[in-house]
Each structure stands twice: as structure tokens, then as C-alpha cells.
């Protein structure tokens, strides 16, 4: 019974993930695309929870669905909801045909590789205890084994913040 | 492990990644190109976390958190560029941004 419930949650979250991903790239109005991406991020957080990644799931909802999407929605509101005009006036252009072929090739390659590896090593998952993926464990690793990655991340965020301020200031002086 | 095997998570991750790649290649609004980039990064993150669960090791989760921080920085710079484009009255269309074409 427990196993069935896990499968049910997985199917709902996985399907929601794929459907909202396709919705993001097919809406003409960027506002609806951003709303669909919030659904995508939320269902991904459910998948992370099923993979015992509790801290990453919480960070996903806070950082992505919270902070990043609010920024997106502000910029979309700033520009107004201008719908995009299709490229080829209804007919597919060479760019679109090529892009769909490239995306399909990418997907087929990865699925074939996964299919070749399935059944062997991929099917055996390590058994983990209850502390796997908890904030305590991830925080301990960040301050011991992965301290350098933690510090580099903080520098990256600082540089991005300075870059955002400089971009905004220059575009204002150019007016 | 209860529920589906890692293979199924990897298939979802591959599908998400190629959906995002399609969005980057097909759409012309830079805002939606940025949103599609987020989908690609999330597909990679899902694969990292699935492998972390399969190995029983936290390194994949740490990597996923670093990817999240980089994605947030990328959005800051990308949206800054888009706002700068809008303030200069440039049309928001990546096909028309050909100033650097050789």
C-alpha cells in the first residue's frame, strides 16, 4: 500500500513536471509561461522529496519558486504582457524544423543511453538512513568537506549582485 | 528503495532538459529563453539528485545546491540585461540582436 502511494505521487509529480515544462515553452504570453514554471518547480520539489533530498526540496521552493520567480514576474510586469509574433506566419521555418530535430535527437540519445544502462548498476540503489539529505547533514558537509564550494558560491552571488547593480546604473545613465 | 527506480527519474530529467533546449532554440522573447534555461538547469539538477540517492552519497545534492546558486546569479544578470535592452527602446527579440554578428 505504501509503495502504491509512492508510485501514485511519483506519476502525478512527474507528469505535472513534463506538462508544465511543455506549457512554459508553448505559451505566447510570458506571464503564463512564468506561472507554468512555478508549477514545474513545485512538482520538481516533490520529486526531490521522493529522492530523500529534503533540504534541496525546501531550497528549491524558497530560492526558485520564491525569489527567482518573483524577480521574473516583476520584469514581465515592467514590460507589459506583449505576446510574441510567430516566426513564419503559421508555416514552420528552417530554424524551427532544425531546432525540433536537434531537441528530438538529444532526447533520443539520452534515453537510449539510459536504456542501455538500465537493469545493471542503475537498478541497485544504496540503502540510506533517516538522516540522508536532512538540513543538518547537508549543512555539516558544507562546513567540512565542501567548504571551498560554499565559499566560491558566496563569491559568485556577490559578483552577480554587483553586476546587476552596474547593469541597472548604466542603462539609467544612457537614457 | 520504495517507488520507481532511478532510471525513471533520469528519463524525466532527460525530457526536461530537451524541453528546455527546444524552448531556447525556438522562442524569440529573451524572457522565455531565460525561463527555458531554468528548465534545462532543473533537469540537470534532477539527474544529480537521483544519482546522489542511488550512490547513497551527498555530493550530488551539494552540487545541485551550487547549481541553484549559479542559476540565481544568472537570472540576476540576464534580467538586468533585458531591463537595459528595454530602457534603450530595443525590441525584445533575440533574432534582431545581431550587433555582434561577424
Complex prediction ipTM = 0.90
- Which positions ≥6 away from A140 have C-beta within 8 Å? none
Test A25 with B32 for CB contact under 8 angstroms: yes
Of A2, A30, A41, the CB nearest to B2: A2
Contacts of B47 in chain A (CB under 8 A): none
Helices and strands: H and E segment counts in chain B: 3, 0
pLDDT at A81 over 90: no
As a whole number of angstroms, the distance between CA B67 and CA A153 comes to: 9
Q: Residue A1's pLDDT is what?
A: 64
Q: Residue A115's pLDDT is what?
A: 84
Cell numbers found for residue A117: 544502462
> Within 10 A of A112 (CB to CB), how many other CB atoms are there?
10
Q: Residue A173's pLDDT is what?
A: 65
Over residues A95-145, the pLDDT tens digits come to 889 989 999 999 999 888 888 877 777 777 777 888 888 899 999 999 999
Cell numbers found for residue A148: 571551498
Single out the residue of A13, A79, A66 nearest to residue A38, CA to CA.
A66
Determine the distance in angstroms separating the CA of A94 from the nearest CA of chain B, rounded to an integer.
Answer: 11
Q: What share of chain B in percent tops pLDDT 90?
A: 57
Distance of CA A85 to the CA centre of its chain: 26
Which residues in chain B (71-90) have CB-CB distances under 8 A to chain A?
71-77, 79-84, 86-88
Q: What is the dihedral angle through the alpha carbons of A62, B21, A109, A88, rounded to the nearest 10 degrees?
A: 150
pLDDT at B75 over 80: yes
Question: CA-CA distances (angstroms) from residue A141 to A145, A167, B51?
Answer: 5, 35, 17
As a whole number of angstroms, the distance between CA B65 and CA A150 comes to: 10
Q: Please provide the average confidence, as pLDDT, over all residues in chain A.
A: 87
Confidence of residue B5 (pLDDT cuts 50, 70, 90): confident
Q: Which residue has the higher pLDDT, A109 or B93?
A: A109
Cell numbers found for residue B71: 542559476
As a whole number of angstroms, the distance between CA A159 and CA A10 comes to: 38
As a whole number of angstroms, the distance between CA A48 and CA B65 comes to: 12
Element (H, E) at B35: helix B30-55
Test B62 with A138 for CB contact under 8 angstroms: yes
pTM for this prediction: 0.91
Q: What share of chain B in percent tops pLDDT 70?
A: 98
Over residues A11-24, the pLDDT tens digits come to 999 999 999 999 99
Contacts of B69 in chain A (CB under 8 A): 153, 156-157
List helix spans (H) across chain A: 2-26, 30-50, 54-59, 69-79, 94-117, 135-143, 147-173
Sign of the dihedral defined by the CA atoms of residues A60, A61, A67, A73, in that order: positive
Single out the residue of A76, A100, A91 nearest to residue B27, CA to CA.
A100
Amino acid at each position: 500500500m505504501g509503495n502504491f502511494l509512492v508510485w501514485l505521487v511519483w506519476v502525478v509529480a512527474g507528469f505535472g513536471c513534463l506538462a508544465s515544462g511543455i506549457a512554459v515553452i508553448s505559451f505566447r504570453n510570458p506571464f503564463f509561461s512564468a506561472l507554468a514554471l512555478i508549477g514545474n518547480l513545485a512538482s520538481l520539489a516533490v520529486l526531490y522529496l521522493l529522492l530523500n533530498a529534503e533540504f534541496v526540496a525546501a531550497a528549491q521552493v524558497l530560492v526558485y519558486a520564491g525569489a527567482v520567480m518573483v524577480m521574473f514576474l516583476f520584469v514581465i510586469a515592467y514590460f507589459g504582457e506583449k505576446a510574441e509574433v510567430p516566426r513564419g506566419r503559421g508555416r514552420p521555418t528552417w530554424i524551427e524544423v532544425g531546432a525540433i530535430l536537434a531537441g528530438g535527437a538529444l532526447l533520443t540519445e539520452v534515453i537510449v543511453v539510459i536504456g542501455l544502462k538500465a537493469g545493471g548498476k542503475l537498478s541497485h540503489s544504496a540503502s540510506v538512513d533517516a538522516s540522508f539529505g536532512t538540513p543538518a547533514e547537508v549543512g555539516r558537509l558544507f562546513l567540512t568537506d565542501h567548504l571551498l564550494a560554499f565559499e566560491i558560491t558566496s563569491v559568485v552571488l556577490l559578483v552577480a549582485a554587483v553586476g546587476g547593480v552596474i547593469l541597472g546604473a548604466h542603462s539609467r545613465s544612457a537614457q | 528503495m520504495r517507488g520507481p527506480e532511478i532510471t525513471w527519474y533520469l528519463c524525466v530529467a532527460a525530457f526536461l532538459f530537451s524541453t528546455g533546449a527546444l524552448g531556447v532554440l525556438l522562442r524569440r522573447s529573451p524572457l522565455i529563453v531565460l525561463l527555458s534555461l531554468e528548465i534545462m538547469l532543473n533537469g540537470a539538477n534532477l539527474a544529480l539528485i537521483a544519482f546522489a540517492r542511488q550512490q547513497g552519497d551527498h555530493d550530488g545534492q551539494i552540487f545541485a545546491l551550487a547549481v541553484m546558486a549559479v542559476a540565481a546569479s544568472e537570472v540576476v544578470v540576464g534580467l538586468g540585461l533585458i531591463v537595459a535592452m528595454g530602457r534603450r527602446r530595443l525590441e525584445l527579440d533575440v533574432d534582431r540582436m545581431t550587433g555582434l554578428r561577424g
